[in-house]
Amino acid sequence: MSQTVTALLRLRELIVSGALPPGERLSELSVVERLGVSRTPVRAALARLEEEGLLEPIPSGGFAVRAFGADEIRDALELRGTLEGLAARLAAERGVALPALNEMRRILDGIDALVDGRQISADDFSAYIALNEGFHARLVDCAGSAILARQIGRVMALPFASPSAFLEAQGTLPEARAILALAQEQHRIVLEAIENREGTRAEAVMREHARLARRNLQLALGNREALRRVRGGALIRHGLRA
């Protein structure tokens, strides 16, 4: 990997893991010393992380690690739902080739096997996350819009905005299986609507699907153990307060 990509990945991980807490000030020189790379890739990495929303510039120079309020996270999830809803509508209206539909069905069959009524283990959650992310990625591909894919990618870079952002936290909650089952039912409805060329229905259900992440956020905010499992949970402002 290039030094810029290396610096970006390492610095993002330090922030999201909580090793660099909210309010921590970062200068080019301090990051160069910490990561052991030159200033040019560090400068590019800092600019990219500011664009993603993880850093904010400070008047005296340099950057500070951002904290996020619950409202900001809800807005990010709402934005993702809006864009994924558009992707579902475009996929339905433009039509999707049979091999792509079959691939999405195979993913959903895999999820069915994980939420079939038995107790869901940690390994099941890991498998669910991978399949869930695969379904969402293929949905975007099926829209056939490069510009929409780029915008969804930008939103996904926001903390807590990905389809699986709060799934790890869900594993500690008694509501876990019921929420996963509802999410899977929505997956099936969206796929059926795309296959039947029902754009409005596909869009509406996909937007509603993103609202489940907002429910998971609220559950995590009210459960200390669940919040610890949220990747980047240390960046949530006011701890458990919504």
Mean pLDDT of 124-142: 91
Distance of CA 204 to the CA centre of its chain: 19
* Distance from C-alpha of 167 to C-alpha of 143, rounded to nearest angstrom: 25
- What's residue 57's pLDDT? 95
The number of beta carbons lying within 10 Å of the beta carbon of residue 167 is: 24
What residue ranges define each of the domains in the chain, with the CATH number in brackets? 3-65 (1.10.10.10), 70-235 (1.20.120.530)
pTM, two decimal places: 0.82
**Nearest alpha-carbon partner for 202 in 96, 128, 116:** 96
Q: Flag whether pLDDT at 111 surpasses 60.
A: yes
Q: pLDDT at residue 156 above 50?
A: yes
pLDDT tens digits, one per residue of 66-98: 988 888 888 989 999 999 999 999 999 999 999
- Residue range 49-59, pLDDT digits in tens: 998 889 999 99
Residues 6+ apart with CB under 8 A from 9: 1
Distance of alpha carbon 20 from alpha carbon 14, whole angstroms = 6
Chain mean pLDDT for the chain: 87
